[in-house]
Amino acid sequence: MVFIAIFVIAGLVTAALWYLQTLAMAKRRRRMSEVAASHGLAFSAKDPFRMVVTLPLDFFDHGHSRKVSNVMYARTPDGRDVRAFDYEYTTGSRKNRHVYYHSCGLISTGAEWPRLTLGPEGFFERVTDVIGGAGIQFESEEFNRTWEVRSADPRFAAAMIDPEMMLFLMEKAEGARVEVHGPWILFAGERLEPEQLPQVLASAEAFRSGIPPVVWSLYPSPDA
């Protein structure tokens, strides 16, 4: 009888937690929709772009059970895509299972660039197997202590990360995970409140605006 009672109580607790989680997800979805509308963005609770399987970004290769949701999106007058969304993935299983939640901003540039990743030490450790090589070092020791930079093309990284870009990253993007590849720039961080999500898009746009002119010269758009 005691075992049955424990089993029933455990089932009720699980059901209650599931119900509360469902309510929280619905509330977040509603708030995200309202934020999107207030910023002139379209909204989809699911991912209409299938980003996890269609975009060449290593950020989407971590773990399993990957999911994009609550997508705000638009196309700018100059034809660039802008998207902000929730992203989650899982590592391990059973007792070692852990779910990671992120808020992401994604913009297109019209360029076709080599892969470049920037993030806190160790976050992109899986990228090492993909692009090889050690982290790229810069003249600023302060920057090197804060950011780990990897790229399949060190010349591209050196052109992209000039002193002004270093300053922006250290002052405005601390703790972010940044990936550049092909036409895409991805900014990702810890999950934010819905009202804060447009800030991630703003950070991605600020990064794009700060790209040194030499990058556009050395790696011009395919349509240029």
Is residue 102 within 8 A of residue 192, CB to CB? The reply is no
Alpha helices in the chain, H assignment, sequence order: 2-38, 51-54, 127-131, 141-146, 154-160, 163-172, 197-209, 213-218
d(CA 209, CA 106): 14
d(CA 111, CA 123): 26
pLDDT tens figures, 178-223: 999 999 999 999 999 999 999 999 999 999 999 999 999 999 887 7
Q: At what angle do helices 2-38 and 197-209 cross, to 10 degrees?
A: 50
In a 3-state reduction of DSSP, which class is residue 78?
A: coil
Name residue, tokens 């819905």.
Answer: 194
Whole-number Cα distances in Å, 173 to 119, 186, 207: 10, 12, 9
d(CA 108, CA 184): 5
Whole-number Cα distances in Å, 166 to 68, 105, 116, 147, 209: 30, 20, 14, 9, 14
Instruction: Flag whether pLDDT at 1 surpasses 80.
Output: no
| pTM of the predicted structure, to 2 decimals | 0.86
- To the nearest whole percent, how much of the chain has pLDDT over 70? 83
pLDDT tens figures, 37-90: 999 999 999 999 999 999 999 999 989 999 999 999 999 999 999 999 999 999
pLDDT tens figures, 15-43: 544 444 657 789 999 999 999 999 999 99
